Structure 1
Amino acid sequence: MNGRLMPAAEATVSVFDHGLLYGDGVFEGIRFYHRRAFRLQAHLARLTLSARALALSLPWDQAALTRAVAETITAAPDDAGYLRLVVTRGVGALGIDPRSCRQPNLFIIADRLDAMAEARRRGARLIIAATRRLGADGLDPRIKSLNYLNPILARLEANRAGADEAVMLNAAGRVTEGSADNLFIVQGGRLLTPPASDGALAGITRAVVLELAATLGIAACEQPLTPYDLYTADECFLTGTAAELVPVADIDGRPLSHCPGPLFSRLDQAFRALIERECRNKPPAVTGEAE
């Protein structure tokens, strides 16, 4: 926290921190395997852009952030886990005006997070939420901010329905993503995912899947999708740093043709192999992976 390693129980922020009071800040979730951060530089680049979009000055440059991540991984009790890198606006006066916030707070949490582990084994059950994704003309989805109220409302719907995840539509009725993950479908051997312009986060794992699809010769593209496309898809799966790759079994009670499907299985295998190539038998990241 702000350059000092400490037990989680000792890490605190002021009740006047605008990250707590107003969700004013940015974050990245980062996986590490074999004590090496996966796709670290892509995460730090997105963090930088999110902060710039909020006119939030990062207290450290990318080299210092990379060293801090490496130090946190070294101190973590496990060889693999999840990091949450958070930058808040910092302490300020009550009221949303950020000018009173003089110094951002930056902390990195190392913990375990196995999101949707059971769903990964049996296939996730999805619903389409009534809660709509905020439009990009109001809050651009490329900003990974601390304010998650919109997807939290969708996740509450999934909880009440006994589902694993909620798919969010935009105001035009097109698919954006899950409450905390990107979404892919397979139709006729083609891999399709909603574009960021429809409200999807430009996910790091999403980008990796598109990269792997190109390597495997799988036709893939960004394309606007509707609930009909989800209901009639041959396969569907979720991607995210926390979730990794999760096959989908049914959507709104409609079973998918395949779960896990053949394309998902190929991509999941390639994803695991990529992690091994980039993270195994290498020292903890001190400069980050080249992108």
Structure 2
Amino acid sequence: MASHESCVWLNGRLEPSAQARISPWNAAFLVGCGAFETLRAYGGKPFAITRHWHRLVRSCAVLGLRPPTLEQFANAMTETLSANELQEARVRFTVSGGEIPGGLQSNHGDGLFTCTAVPATPTKPSESVAMVPWPRNERGALAGAKSVSYAENVVALNHARCNGAGEAIFSNTKDELCEGAASNVFLVRGGLLHTPPLSSGCLAGVTRELTLEVCRAHGIPVSEEPLPATALAGADEAFLTSSMREVQAIASVDGTPLSQPVGPLTRRVAGLFREFVSSHMDP
């Protein structure tokens, strides 16, 4: 395979991306029945691989899919990164239901595992966000699952971008702050760090979880109590967390700058997280 030709991993086999094929009856393609994980690779090694695998297993259980073993999950990423000669990368592992030519009533049969990797893009120091008018359903069947059914997030991101923002923020059906389309959210009020609880319907983000652990290890208290949706716009400072963003400051909400767009607590947490990553590849 030519060194410049990208490739993907499909059920244990590496193939050139241009030649890779998925059945038109595939359940993820037809009805969005699939789960996935996106990881950041540093120096050719996926970060927090075990935690991501555990979350994928939980998502597969919600969707009734067979998950990969940890060995399959790890080997797929290692092989994909190596074949694409990538060091700093965005790696995605997807579990799809099998073929369903008979529609929703079909048995999924054998599923499909895929792994892709592309170069990581630099993250801006801060991001503008927009609240979207559609709530997350914290009691929905897919609440907490990382599903490939991402159309809701695509619509929300389009709304945010049309309003000059780079991330969309959801409330839930109780008008509580929930999460970003592809991130978790933290905010500072009166010197105290807050983040919505998992009961808000937000995804149990791996970076969120590690940020909480890092903060508490360094004596930074974090509240996980419900917050009104309006709390973000009124925050002193705030930030987003995700595998690719790591810890990224929020500059403005709905076009209004926060009083401290890149505040001192945000800078401290971001620095502590980077230090943690440099010494813990699979925490």
Normalising by structure 1, what TM-score? Answer: 0.89
**Which SS does the other structure have where 1:142 is aligned?**
coil
**Runs (4+) of structure 1 moved beyond 6 Å?**
none
State the partner residue of 2:60: 51
**Residue number among 36, 41, 48 corresponding to 2:45 in the alignment:** 36
Is there any run of 5+ residues in structure 1 with no aligned partner, and where?
Answer: 280-288
Question: Are 1:131 and 1:153, in contact at CA under 8 Å, matched by a contact in 2?
Answer: no
State how many pairs are aligned: 274
Match status 1:114 vs 2:117: no
Counterpart of 1:46 in structure 2: which amino acid?
R
State the partner residue of 1:81: 89
Counterpart of 1:24 in structure 2: which amino acid?
C
What are the within-5 Å matches in structure 2 for residues 9-158 of structure 1?
A: 9-58=18-67, 60-99=68-107, 101-114=108-121, 117=123, 120-121=124-125, 123-133=126-136, 135-158=137-160
CA offsets 1:196-235 (integer angstroms, 9 cap, x no match)? 1111100000011101111221111212112331122111
Question: Are 1:25 and 1:86, in contact at CA under 8 Å, matched by a contact in 2?
Answer: yes
What are the within-5 Å matches in structure 2 for residues 156-175 of structure 1?
A: 156-175=158-177
In structure 2, how many angstroms separate the alpha carbons of the residues matched to 1:139 and 1:265? 36
Normalising by structure 2, what TM-score? Answer: 0.92
In structure 1, how many angstroms separate the alpha carbons of the residues matched to 2:182 and 2:72? 28
**Residue number among 266, 274, 277 corresponding to 2:276 in the alignment:** 274
Question: Are 2:138 and 2:202, in contact at CA under 8 Å, matched by a contact in 1?
Answer: no
Query: What's the offset of the Cα at 1:149?
Result: 1.7
In structure 1, how many angstroms separate the alpha carbons of the residues matched to 2:140 and 2:96? 21
Query: What's the offset of the Cα at 1:164?
Result: 1.3
**Residue number among 220, 227, 243 corresponding to 2:229 in the alignment:** 227
**Which SS does the other structure have where 1:6 is aligned?**
strand
State the partner residue of 1:282: none
In structure 2, how many angstroms separate the alpha carbons of the residues matched to 1:136 and 1:169? 10
Please identify, of 242-251 and 202-211, the stretch whose mean Cα deviation from structure 2 is larger: 242-251
Is there any run of 5+ residues in structure 2 with no aligned partner, and where?
Answer: 1-9
Query: What's the offset of the Cα at 1:98?
Result: 4.2
Question: Are 1:141 and 1:201, in contact at CA under 8 Å, matched by a contact in 2?
Answer: yes
Select the structure with the greater relative contact order (CA < 8 A; seq sep ≥ 6). Answer: 1
In structure 2, how many angstroms separate the alpha carbons of the residues matched to 1:75 and 1:229? 46
In structure 2, how many angstroms separate the alpha carbons of the residues matched to 1:217 and 1:17? 48
Percent identity over paired residues: 32
In structure 1, how many angstroms separate the alpha carbons of the residues matched to 2:93 and 2:230? 37
State the partner residue of 1:284: none
In structure 2, how many angstroms separate the alpha carbons of the residues matched to 1:61 and 1:16? 25
CA RMSD, Structure 1 to Structure 2 (Å) = 1.5
Please identify, of 39-48 and 68-77, the stretch whose mean Cα deviation from structure 2 is larger: 68-77
**Residue number among 259, 262, 265 corresponding to 1:260 in the alignment:** 262
